Structure 1
Amino acid sequence: MFPTPVEKIAAPWRWGYKLAVPIVLILWLLPLLGVMMTSIRPASDLAQGNYFGVPSTIALGNYLEVFANTPMGTYIWNSFKVTIPTVIGAVALSCLTGFALAVYKFKSNLLVFFMFVAGNFVPFQILMVPVRDLTLNMGLYDTSMGLVLFHIAFQTGFCTLFMRNFIKALPFELIEAARVEGVSELKIFWFIVLPLMRPAIAALSVLIFTFIWNDYFWATVLVQGSHALPVTAGIFSLNGQWVAQWQLVSAGSIVAAMPPVIMFFLMQKHFIAGLTLGATKG
């Protein structure tokens, strides 16, 4: 039923596996390595067609130029203004909805849960026109608040699915014992269930932070001006009007990728615990 461990397969297959892993890893990392090399390549190399060779000099000044001569700092700040409220809003709502759907038995419980799940299967491209029109009518177009509200609404479905299944795996006897003692439902959620959800909250926060930070589609659909443009959409504007400044675009891309990477390593312990909790019994 389960795949055979690598240590137990035949020797030729085991050696083939050990040989294939580094090759696949190198191929997977090649685009990232190319971007990193371009980010420290001087503009003169690119003008002479040296796109893939060794840089003539190490131009670390590209990273300083990105912040000194472009609105890169504003774009990063805009991304934080969109991502952090979205993570807080989506995770907070999903904790409440997940608790209600997991603990309370009421009519249409499964129907409501399926509605949350079904929202994850709607292709977001078909929502482009109605969502854009809605933000225009509400006066939220070209604002950070419009992006925040949309992302919270769109991510709550997945977050609710995650939280509901997590709470379902908790021992229900804890809630029953608290009810017997006369503890209110709000205190049961706040003092009993919520502390047990910390690994799930950490894992979900990392996932949602990465999803929203790397979003490009809605950043270009719902925002136009640089005052609210997130970093994913703003990087393309680092190109000059007549000359493509790929060294700046590459340096900006590396800088833009750092916050999710840093957050993952800071939350790695809780992230893995949240994903694997409940995977085994006993």
Structure 2
Amino acid sequence: MTTVIAPSDLARGTEYSGSRPKRHLGTHLILLVLAVMWLLPLGWSLYTALRPIESTNQNGYFSVGGPYNFDNFVTAWNQGGFSKYFLNSVTITVPAVLLTLFLSSLMAFAVSRVNWKFNITLLIMFTAGNLLPPQVLAAPLFQMFKHLNLPYWFSDSGTLLNTYISVIAVDTAFQIGFCTFVLSNYMKALSSDLTEAALVDGAGIWRQYWSIIMPLCRPAFAALGTLEVIFIYNDFFWPLLFIQSGDRLPVTTAINNLQGVFLSNYNLLAAGATITVIPTLVIYLLLQRQFVAGLTLGSSKG
């Protein structure tokens, strides 16, 4: 029997062995192993959080069976004060993400859609900034914020320390380089005919940016927005460095309230860690389609 191969299959690069395509079992096996490795800690934390501490003390953490309930989640929520800390995280995360996306989109438009002398140089500088470890600038930033005097009606500490603004500014500064790099590559993939036609019609730079390029970058914004929410929401270092008041710390520090003085209830800690994961997981599930589209669109031309 003669095997007929459609031209569309040849265009997609389908490999044939006789009359059946080769199955990439090795690739699927590697992906399956990686998925299990990523999901195993989360699943084990959830399993531990559903078990009472008495059950694990009696049977061990690697045992199966026993009662399961949500008592650890209720205790962690009340003891850790998660409702207050979640609000603090929202106060930091939302402005930081919006500022990062807006400022990086301006810079990405300048280096990708406008021909001028220093566009490549600035893009390299923004990209190189991501190579600098944040901890290197911890002491200089702390001293700078400490000696920057502000009126007490603006900051109860008289400086930028112990304010949300300090954390928002630093998070924005450290994330803007990565977002500029991604958005500039995405904008370069857009056809230049769009802005050239708008320029012929009399549209200025700002009109080209706001009315033409920005709407086309929505998938990229969705992908970057999801990543930036995860990055900034999970940040533990900068809030702990700049904020001394316990009632202003983000949710990543709320787990410290679940630590015992002499002993630690790891079932309670697992419940608290699971609670902190829920917002980012919900955001990813809601924006999953836009997130995948933002990672794939613009990867090829034609």
Question: What is the TM-score normalised by the length of structure 1?
Answer: 0.88
Moved more, 144-153 or 18-27: 18-27
2:151 equivalent to 1:141 = no
Match of 1:38 in 2: 48
2:68 equivalent to 1:58 = yes
Structure 2 residue identity aligned to 1:96: L
Cα deviation 1:116-135 (Å, max 9, x = unaligned):
11101111121121122222
SS of 2:147's partner is helix
2:131 equivalent to 1:111 = no
2:87 equivalent to 1:67 = no
Match of 1:29 in 2: 39
Residues 57 and 224 (structure 1), Cα distance of their counterparts in 2 relative to 1, 3 Å cut: farther
> Please, which of 280, 290, 296 is the counterpart of residue 276 of structure 1?
296
Q: Determine the C-alpha separation between the residues in 1 that align with 2:261 and 2:180.
A: 45
Cα deviation 1:124-155 (Å, max 9, x = unaligned):
12112112222222322232221111101111
- Whether the aligned pair in 2 keeps the contact of 1:41 and 1:55 (CA below 8 Å) is no
> Please, which of 250, 261, 271 is the counterpart of residue 230 of structure 1?
250
- Whether the aligned pair in 1 keeps the contact of 2:110 and 2:119 (CA below 8 Å) is no
Cα deviation 1:160-208 (Å, max 9, x = unaligned):
1111111111111111111111122211211111111111111110111
Residues 60 and 95 (structure 1), Cα distance of their counterparts in 2 relative to 1, 3 Å cut: same
More helix by share: 1
Deviation at 1:107, TM superposition (A): 2.1
Structure 1 residue identity aligned to 2:252: T
Moved more, 258-267 or 41-50: 41-50
Question: What is the TM-score normalised by the length of structure 2?
Answer: 0.83
- Whether the aligned pair in 2 keeps the contact of 1:7 and 1:14 (CA below 8 Å) is no
Q: Determine the C-alpha separation between the residues in 2 that align with 1:19 and 1:114.
A: 38
2:197 equivalent to 1:187 = no
Give the unaligned 5+ runs of structure 2: 1-12, 18-22, 149-158
Give the unaligned 5+ runs of structure 1: none
Moved more, 198-207 or 24-33: 24-33
- Whether the aligned pair in 2 keeps the contact of 1:6 and 1:14 (CA below 8 Å) is no
Q: Determine the C-alpha separation between the residues in 2 that align with 1:181 and 1:14.
A: 51
Q: Highest Rg: 1 or 2? A: 2
Match of 1:81 in 2: 91
Q: Determine the C-alpha separation between the residues in 2 that align with 1:208 and 1:7.
A: 42
- Whether the aligned pair in 2 keeps the contact of 1:91 and 1:156 (CA below 8 Å) is yes
- Output the aligned Cα RMSD: 2.5
Moved more, 237-246 or 201-210: 237-246
> Please, which of 225, 232, 238 is the counterpart of residue 218 of structure 1?
238
SS of 1:244's partner is coil
Aligned residues: 277
Q: Determine the C-alpha separation between the residues in 2 that align with 1:249 and 1:136.
A: 34
Identity of aligned residues (%): 35
2:293 equivalent to 1:252 = no
SS of 2:116's partner is coil
Deviation at 1:14, TM superposition (A): 5.9
Residues 24 and 6 (structure 1), Cα distance of their counterparts in 2 relative to 1, 3 Å cut: farther
> Please, which of 98, 106, 111 is the counterpart of residue 108 of structure 2?
98
Q: Determine the C-alpha separation between the residues in 1 that align with 2:193 and 2:30.
A: 49
Q: Determine the C-alpha separation between the residues in 1 that align with 2:127 and 2:29.
A: 41
Deviation at 1:20, TM superposition (A): 5.9
